Structure formats: structure tokens, C-alpha cells
């Protein structure tokens, strides 16, 4: 039986103005691993980091690199160059960056196969293959043969999410699974995914899969019951792009998980909630909703293609407070055309809603490959998710204005939402 190693970049998000922390476990490789284990393959998951990116993979028949973000691509390339591999082992790559730039990845990583899109079925078929002739029949891949690159038929998204095995959390250390990351509590929680896809087209977002699919309420409840049993969790965080977008399906799930007496949180758009839904969320144990506000400027919301209004933001925060759920405002500063006036509009909105906001999360705009706004010309700025002291667009004067206005915003948030 083939031995398979899945490698993911250990990335840290930045919270509370510079404190780096792991936000949630690598669901991509965990789902791939569980799909392989379902077929009785021997699977290992390894994290690569800037401090530890040299490995001996000579014990593995297949090594798969998960490039979950274009920002992690240099680290993956470094890991490929630094590590030792078994002769004739199969080197594969997948993830968002690989799906966007398959030709680049297959050449840069000198790999045999690049998987495009959702990979649970693809990786199992790759593992079962015995020759390049077998590989040529696998949908959704780029593969290399005789120094040429071939492309196979597109693979469709997985619509029956209940057919997927639960993510292989047992292959990671417990501290990567159980965290204390739920609103202002110290409860032990896990992170979960209830759906895939997002129907919206925000200009800054790299995830452009708009095919929304949900797991069933029974499937979700079963996973949560296992997390209670195996990890003794007291709560959970839903990390879907847009779990509440389909109110009818969301309500079914909310009522089912409410039976478990867990505390939980979710991300949401301000235009996807109403009083009925919020009351159901409250009754089910939801204690915090993280809203993608992004900006208090209608001009900036329009440029971002958020398809929401400042009035909808105000309404969502007010009715969320009315039902007794904490509301966190997620702000993105520095989107192209940001200036001192738009920043002051954001500060004014936060001030107006101060009594309705439990926490504020602040990130800084960067160009993400795959996003609609990503420019065709080469970007010289050393972009990262947390680029506080750089602005990847505009003239020197515009950059300076963004950075000065950012200081105002940071100062305001620190002074008013220090917790």
C-alpha cells in the first residue's frame, strides 16, 4: 500500500494588531487525508514553515503540496528544493494557487501532477493509479509526460458534501485542533465547515467558487457529536465563506445543532440576517457573529463590489445587539482609492455603532492572485495578509495618505475596542 505525505504551509494570521496566531487548522489537507484513509492508504500530514522547511520524504510514494494561498507559494517552493524524495515518487500539488497557475506550479515545483479545484476524489484516483496511462484518464489535472504538459477534462465540484469523510483531525496535534478562540470566552472549541462556495463577487477575494453547497443537518450534527466525544469541546466556530446565505438551509442546521448545547460563532454578511434568523441563532447557542463590514464608506463598498449598504450594516448590528448576540466588525483598510475621507467615514460608522460592536478585526488590503482586482502587471510590493506599513497601489502621495489615515484608524480602534 502506498504511503502518502501531505504538506501544508503553516501560516499565521494576525490578530490584535500584530500578535500572530493560528486561526484554524488546514481543512484542505485534512479532507484530502480523510478521503485517502477511507481507501485504507497510510497518510501523514506535515506542516512546513519558514523555520522548518527541510524534510526527508524518502519513505513516501506520493508527496502532495497544498498551496492554500499564493502568499505561501515561495515557502512551498523552498520546501520542494530543500527536501529529499524517494526515487520515482510521485510529486503532486493542489490548492488555490495551483488551480490558478498550474503551468507555473508544475514547472517551478518540478512535480508530476497539479490538481485543479476540489481534490478529494482526484487524489484518491491518483493514489490508485499505477502508470501515466492511468493518470491520463483522471479528470481535473495537469500532468507531465516526456517533458510535455497535458491537461485532462475538467472535474466538477463535489455536490454531495455528505459523501466526504470528516476531516482527519487525528493526524494533527491536539493543540492545532482545540483552541480557545470563541468571542470573549475561554471555552475549548474546534473549527468546522458547514458549506462550500460563495455566490458573491467581492473584488478583493481570491475564492471565486460561486457554487454554494451545504452539508445536511444530520451530517453536521454527527461531526459535532464526535468532536464532543473525542476532544471534549464546549463550542465551535463556523469558518465557511457564507454559511447563512441560504436562510432555509441555515435554519434547518441551526435548529439541529441547537440540541447539542454548545456555544458557537459564525461569519456572516450584513444583508443575510434578519430578526427571525438572529433569534434562531441565539436560541441555538450562537454567541457571536463576525460581520464583513470592510468599510464605513459607501464609495469604498461600491469599489469592493460588496453589494451592501452602510444602512444595511447599521441595521445588522442593531438587531444583532437587540437579540443578545455579540457582533464583531471585520474591517479592511487600504483598498484602492482609500483616503483620509473614506477612513474617517469608517471611524464615524464604528463610533455610531460602538455600543453594538463587541470586537473589531482589522486587516490591510493586499492583492491576492485569483481576485477580480488582481492586476495583470507585475507587483513589486512585498505583499502579505498583514502589510501594515505598505500600500500595494497608487502614487507616493496616495500611499502616504493611506498610511497616515491608517494611523488614525488604528488609534481609534485601540482606544475604543481594546479588548
pLDDT digits over 153-194, tens only?
999 999 999 999 999 999 999 999 999 989 889 999 999 999
Judge: domain 178-416, CATH 3.20.20.70. yes
Report, as an integer, the average pLDDT of 245-256.
97
pLDDT at 87: 93
CA distance linking residue 259 with residue 347, whole number of Å: 39
Report, as an integer, the average pLDDT of 319-338.
97
For a pLDDT cut of 90, what percent of the chain falls above it? 82
Kind and range of the H or E run holding 340: helix 340-352
Contact indicator for 50, 76 with CB cutoff of 8 Å:
no
Instruction: Provide the 10 A C-beta neighbour count for residue 318.
Output: 13
pLDDT in tens, 191-248: 999 999 999 999 999 887 889 999 999 999 999 999 999 999 999 999 998 899 999 9
- pLDDT tier at 299, thresholds 50, 70, 90: very high
Nearest by Cα to 152 from 165, 137, 163, 164: 137
Nearest by Cα to 46 from 27, 19, 65: 65
CA distance linking residue 311 with residue 17, whole number of Å: 28
Tell me the pTM: 0.93
**Packing angle, helices 217-231 and 247-257, rounded to 10:** 40
Beta carbons within 8 Å of 418's beta carbon, 6+ residues apart: none
State the span(s) of the chain assigned CATH 3.40.50.280: 3-151
Nearest by Cα to 5 from 121, 132, 171: 171
pLDDT at 394: 93
The CATH number of 3-151, from 3.40.1030.10, 3.30.2290.10, 3.90.1150.10, 3.40.50.280, is 3.40.50.280
**Average pLDDT over the chain, rounded to whole?**
92
- The lowest-confidence range among 13-17, 34-38, 128-132, 338-342 is 13-17
- The lowest-confidence range among 17-31, 124-138, 261-275 is 17-31
pLDDT at 207: 80
pLDDT at 326: 97
- 257 φ, ψ to 5°? -75, -20
Nearest by Cα to 92 from 42, 129, 39: 129
Pairing of strands 263-268, 235-238: parallel
- pLDDT tier at 381, thresholds 50, 70, 90: very low
pLDDT at 16: 45
357 class by beta-carbon count within 10 Å (0-12 exposed, 13-18 middle, 19+ buried): buried
- pLDDT tier at 384, thresholds 50, 70, 90: very low
Report, as an integer, the average pLDDT of 11-35.
73
Report, as an integer, the average pLDDT of 79-84.
97
State the span(s) of the chain assigned CATH 3.20.20.70: 178-416
Q: How many alpha carbons lie under 13 Å from residue 36 in its C-beta half-sphere?
A: 28
On the question of pLDDT at 18 being above 50, the answer is no
CA distance linking residue 84 with residue 59, whole number of Å: 10
On the question of pLDDT at 146 being above 50, the answer is yes
CA distance linking residue 350 with residue 346, whole number of Å: 6
pLDDT at 383: 46
Amino acid at each position: 500500500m502506498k504511503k502518502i505525505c501531505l504538506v501544508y504551509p503553516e501560516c499565521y494570521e494576525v490578530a490584535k494588531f500584530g500578535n500572530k496566531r493560528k486561526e484554524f487548522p488546514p481543512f484542505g489537507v485534512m479532507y484530502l487525508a480523510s478521503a485517502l484513509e477511507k481507501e485504507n492508504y497510510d497518510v501523514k500530514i506535515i506542516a512546513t514553515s519558514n523555520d522548518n522547511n527541510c524534510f526527508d520524504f524518502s519513505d513516501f510514494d506520493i508527496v502532495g503540496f497544498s498551496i492554500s494561498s499564493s502568499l505561501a507559494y515561495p515557502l512551498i517552493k523552498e520546501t520542494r528544493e530543500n527536501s529529499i524524495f524517494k526515487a520515482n515518487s510521485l510529486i503532486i500539488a493542489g490548492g488555490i494557487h495551483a488551480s490558478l497557475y498550474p503551468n507555473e506550479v508544475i514547472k517551478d515545483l518540478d512535480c508530476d501532477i497539479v490538481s485543479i479545484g476540489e481534490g478529494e476524489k482526484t487524489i484518491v484516483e491518483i493514489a490508485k493509479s499505477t502508470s501515466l496511462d492511468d493518470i491520463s484518464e483522471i479528470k481535473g489535472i495537469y500532468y507531465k509526460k516526456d517533458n510535455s504538459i497535458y491537461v485532462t477534462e475538467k472535474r466538477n465540484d463535489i455536490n454531495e458534501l455528505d459523501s466526504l469523510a470528516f476531516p482527519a483531525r487525528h493526524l494533527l496535534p491536539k493543540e492545532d485542533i482545540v483552541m480557545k478562540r470563541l468571542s470573549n470566552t475561554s471555552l475549548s472549541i474546534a473549527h468546522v465547515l458547514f458549506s462550500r462556495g460563495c455566490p458573491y463577487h467581492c473584488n478583493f477575494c481570491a475564492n471565486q467558487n460561486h457554487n454554494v453547497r451545504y452539508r445536511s443537518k444530520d451530517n453536521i450534527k454527527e461531526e459535532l457529536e464526535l468532536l464532543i466525544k473525542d476532544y471534549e469541546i464546549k463550542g465551535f466556530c463556523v469558518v465557511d465563506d457564507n454559511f447563512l446565505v441560504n436562510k432555509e438551509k441555515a435554519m434547518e442546521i441551526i435548529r439541529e445543532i441547537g440540541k447539542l448545547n454548545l456555544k458557537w460563532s459564525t461569519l456572516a454578511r450584513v444583508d443575510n440576517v434578519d430578526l427571525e434568523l438572529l433569534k434562531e441563532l441565539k436560541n441555538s447557542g450562537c454567541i457571536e457573529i463576525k460581520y464583513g463590514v470592510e468599510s464605513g464608506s459607501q464609495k469604498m463598498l461600491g469599489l469592493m463590489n460588496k453589494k451592501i449598504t452602510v444602512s444595511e450594516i447599521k441595521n445588522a448590528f442593531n438587531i444583532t445587539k437587540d437579540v443578545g448576540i455579540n457582533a464583531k466588525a471585520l474591517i479592511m483598510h487600504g483598498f484602492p482609492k482609500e483616503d483620509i475621507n473614506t477612513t474617517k467615514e469608517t471611524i464615524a460608522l464604528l463610533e455610531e455603532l460602538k455600543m453594538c460592536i463587541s470586537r473589531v478585526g482589522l486587516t490591510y488590503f493586499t492583492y491576492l492572485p485569483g481576485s477580480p482586482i488582481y492586476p495583470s502587471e507585475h507587483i513589486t510590493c512585498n505583499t502579505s495578509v498583514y502589510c501594515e506599513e505598505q500600500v500595494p497601489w497608487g502614487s507616493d502621495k496616495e500611499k502616504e495618505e493611506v498610511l497616515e489615515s491608517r494611523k488614525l484608524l488604528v488609534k481609534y480602534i485601540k482606544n475604543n475596542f481594546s479588548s
